[in-house]
Chains A and B, each alone.
Chain A
């Protein structure tokens, strides 16, 4: 989120208080823009209905990667430049398996990491947009778009949910 927009930040001291607040707010159908935590809080992710399709992507990488590798091996070993090694047939399939397996793993890793870095916007020399430096240490914060929510109601609910502090940015 770009910093020109006004944001309301609610800071919590523990995962539990964060979760309680989250449930309460959602009851009042107030959706936080984003939640920042020092470690993955699965309940929160579930509550926010965050789902990743990354594993599907990886599966396809693996599938097509495997086919590509086998095709390459077959082309180079049988079609392009067949050589007789110790009387083995040119298409020495059992030997191909090992290579294919390992290369599939390699391909999946590389592409998955790429996808992750693209989707989660995590890449070298990226300037972090830090809302509150303490999130990476011990604080759990909720961030709301001041434009979208009713400010007073939100303040009320946050105070009720025992937010350690509430401020705007």
Chain B
């Protein structure tokens, strides 16, 4: 409870440019303490007669209330003095930017009564176009993570900021005085202001170096581009302009560089609406089945070691020189080169490898195909990755040599992710002063002498330049929840600059960015405008594309016979920096549908030959125990393992889940290679079951997912969907067709656009207070997500086609679930919504059984405030993320997708206040809003103007299990594969 007091005083609404009024906070605090001490039933209160009576009276009332209604009482403590910008019960949206060191996204943050509760995409952004990813959606929960550092620490002990600052500064002074070396180790910095602050720091302490270390390193590409173009940066990729996309192990829809941006562009080129006759064609060569690979039109499993030879061969056949070295997959190469040449300047070849030579080959290929300036633009460099592995290796050498005297770590965790962690640790021990400025607890900060905890991004000021000449602003939504300080400000302090970082930022923008625009002539207007929009595009300075210095490495095709390991980032956890986020831990992997841990994916053939079955425990290199998962489409002779697991010191949620696979990386060409290390394994004989939200993945010829090829589609737009016409013909009903005279809400899912990334899933979880249930419950098939993404395989298990199908409540007009509820807890409303009255539900589960889509979920336990489910919903802090518009369901009731009824209601009220008719398309459910591919469309089926209405009339449209005549309000558009026959 005492904790809670703290939170309440902290969560004070914060508008740009004004800090909380202490008087108010104080009064609030006093107010709380009274109520709380009463609620405590309080040992702290001295037992005076007056207090006794007070307590007695209060507890009587409380008792009566508690007994009279089953809902647990939640304390709502009102403002004594209302801040004018807050209307209780009304949400406000603030533009900001998300950057976690890897992924950038321009966002709108929904704030309610002073606490941010939901992240949405910012439609104003020319980069992410309002899309988000699962990690962006989940980031709001990390703000309320109880395992974050709450105060500065000196070797584990709590210290005040003053002491920390003085001691650290003294340390730096001393070191630089004796010409010692200070190293600032950060993840990629895309914030111009922060970079400026860093420079300030470097200048104050001469002999200080700044080294960037990326967990998901692209140093191979950076170096290759430097060699080729003299620009050490990543180029911009325009997947929307490419008609033929060839990816060699780049999971650009899931985890590679800027997945949200790429997905929006990729999906745009795959849409078949508004008479767009053609869609781009996507060919993927990769080892493990990645999200991107699962969306490819053609996919070839290859061993990591084959990549180079393959690219060399491709380049050779493109340039006409005869191919050198033939590999398993070199068959398609000839065909591929033909296709590529026919698509000169309209094709795009990308590669996820971190090997400079390989990237040189790729650049060479794109250059030969005139893709530079068309689908690739090096003149708009991307700054999301800046880490150069050799520098990092060098640093570790130096540290061990003892030539580094002080190490500052910003948002990086080498003790966990540096492949040779022992070496780094020993280096750290040799380094005198180590200061970690990380936000949450991690392995490295646990070993540093000082921890100066930084703010969560929702508590921080900042800016971002993910791409040259595209700026994003970052503004705090809330006062720091704990006694933390954003790291930029710490650097400023230590370099003797006492201006608050907000002022510093404003000053920087006034000097550097304000001049770059004409619209606003007062900086204040410019600033406020930018804060409102969240983005600033000064406009690109057009310039011709630089020519490439052809550097072709001698291609030495090495194809090993050994078992090769392939390390990938899981779509949910990435490199593991968000491991302590229960939402992400319980997000089913888009492909395997596994949760809560990683595993070793092997191909069915490989498994059969080595006598492996699902969940068999194997030991890799004699030191890593991991369960096997048989993965269709996995390259033979390879093992794929997800990074980001096996955290040791990240908090109660993540610690000890899965194994840390970073040590399996190997150094090649100076860079750390996630793929290609040759390993040995032995079968342990034990089993370790991995919980999965979906176990069976075969369609058995059921018309659940309907697809066709592009040619077929051109011949007949209704191709693959013949069944729909047939059923429509037989369409008869005993009763009159349901008619809805106001709104009739509907949702359309374009299977061709949906990549299965799972952003919708987490958005729904955040919006609708969906509980996290943990591994054992998931393995009992009790996962609670209201929207799930079914994944099916078709064809040869070694090289299967994959489909992702989002399934949420269909809101059937003839709903089977409604008829069977004895207590009328789930009737149909006059807008076509299938409702659930939680208070009325007695939990017979009959509706769950009778739902053909099985979208109804049951609260098997009390999930909130239950020590058995010790995730965020179990602490007062964690529950601050709950959406007050949605009930937290109690034990024993059924719940399901409500089409975000609360959002519909909100928009209706807005329209009513503005005294106009609501256009159905104004309503965006959480999933629709989050979708980066715009695969989901929500709207009013009675409004002919709404896209959803058009989609429902589209020849491609069909309903799931329509033969049951449940009349769903969710339609699916057939999947079109651009296969060449």
Contact = CB atoms under 8 A, between A and B. Distances in A.
Contacts of B818: 84-86
B736 A86 contact: no
A89 B821 CA distance: 16
Interface in A61-89: 83-89
A86 B733 CA distance: 12
B717 interface: no
Contacts of A86: 812, 814-819, 828
B827 A87 contact: no
A85 B827 contact: yes
B824 A83 contact: yes
A86 B850 CA distance: 12
Contacts of B813: 87
Nearest to A82: B827
A87 B738 contact: yes
Contacts of B819: 85-86, 88
A88 B814 CA distance: 8
Interface in B816-860: 816-819, 821, 824, 827-830
A87 B824 contact: no
Contacts of B738: 84, 87
A89 B815 CA distance: 13
Contacts of A88: 735, 819
A166 B819 CA distance: 71
A84 B736 contact: no
B967 interface: yes
Interface string A6-33: 0000000000000000000000000000
B735 A89 contact: yes
Contacts of A87: 735, 738, 813-815, 828, 967
A83 B815 CA distance: 13
Interface in B744-802: none
A88 to B, nearest CB: 6
Interface string B44-82: 000000000000000000000000000000000000000
A89 B736 contact: yes
Nearest to A85: B818
Which of A84, A85, A86 has the most chain B CB within a 10 Å cutoff? Answer: A86
Nearest to B734: A88
Contacts of B817: 86
A127 to B, nearest CB: 45
A84 B812 CA distance: 12
A99 to B, nearest CB: 11
Nearest to A81: B824
Interface string B206-239: 0000000000000000000000000000000000
Interface in A85-123: 85-89
Contacts of B829: 84
Interface residues of A, number: 7
A84 B817 CA distance: 12
A79 to B, nearest CB: 16
B736 A83 contact: no
A86 B815 CA distance: 4
A87 B816 CA distance: 10
A75 to B, nearest CB: 15
Contacts of A85: 818-819, 821, 824, 827-828
Nearest to A84: B828
Contacts of B830: 84
A124 B824 CA distance: 40
Nearest to B830: A84
A87 B455 CA distance: 53
Contacts of A89: 735-736
A89 B827 CA distance: 13
Nearest to B967: A87
A91 to B, nearest CB: 11
Q: Which has the most chain B C-beta neighbours within 10 Å: A84, A85, A87?
A: A87
A86 B830 CA distance: 12
A8 to B, nearest CB: 63
B827 A83 contact: yes
A86 B810 CA distance: 12
A85 B812 CA distance: 11
A122 to B, nearest CB: 37
Nearest to B737: A87
Contacts of A83: 824, 827-828
**Which of B736, B812, B818 has the most C-beta atoms of chain A within 10 angstroms of its own C-beta?**
B818
Nearest to B816: A86
A87 B817 CA distance: 11
A88 B824 CA distance: 13
A84 B827 contact: yes
Interface string B528-545: 000000000000000000
Nearest to B829: A84
A85 B814 CA distance: 8
Nearest to B813: A87
Nearest to B812: A86
Nearest to A89: B735
A20 B819 CA distance: 65
Nearest to A83: B827
B846 to A, nearest CB: 13
B821 to A, nearest CB: 8
A96 to B, nearest CB: 14
Contacts of B735: 87-89
A101 B289 CA distance: 60
B911 to A, nearest CB: 24
Nearest to B815: A86
Nearest to B826: A85
A84 B736 CA distance: 13
A80 to B, nearest CB: 12
A89 B818 CA distance: 13
A137 B735 CA distance: 64
A89 B814 CA distance: 11
A84 B831 CA distance: 11
A86 B818 CA distance: 5
A84 B829 CA distance: 7
B832 to A, nearest CB: 10
A88 B820 CA distance: 12
Nearest to A94: B734
A83 B821 CA distance: 12
A83 B829 CA distance: 8
A144 B338 CA distance: 121
B958 to A, nearest CB: 20
A87 B734 CA distance: 10
A12 to B, nearest CB: 58
A83 B812 CA distance: 15
A83 B818 CA distance: 10
A89 B828 CA distance: 12
A84 B738 CA distance: 10
Contacts of B815: 86-87
Nearest to B817: A86
Contacts of B814: 86-87
A84 B826 CA distance: 9
A152 B735 CA distance: 82
A86 B817 CA distance: 8
Nearest to B738: A87
Contacts of B816: 86
A21 B344 CA distance: 123
Interface string B703-738: 000000000000000000000000000000001101
Looking at B813, B819, B830, the one whose CB has the most chain A CB atoms below 10 A away is: B819
A110 B967 CA distance: 44
A135 to B, nearest CB: 50
B810 to A, nearest CB: 12
15 contacts: A83-B827, A83-B828, A84-B827, A84-B828, A85-B818, A85-B821, A85-B824, A85-B827, A86-B815, A86-B818, A86-B828, A87-B967, A88-B735, A88-B819, A89-B735
Interface of A: 83-89
Given A84-B738, A86-B812, A88-B819, 7 more contacts: A83-B824, A84-B829, A85-B827, A86-B814, A87-B735, A89-B735, A89-B736
Which 3 interchain pairs have the tightest Cβ spacing?
A84-B828, A86-B818, A86-B819
Interface of B: 735-736, 738, 812-819, 821, 824, 827-830, 967
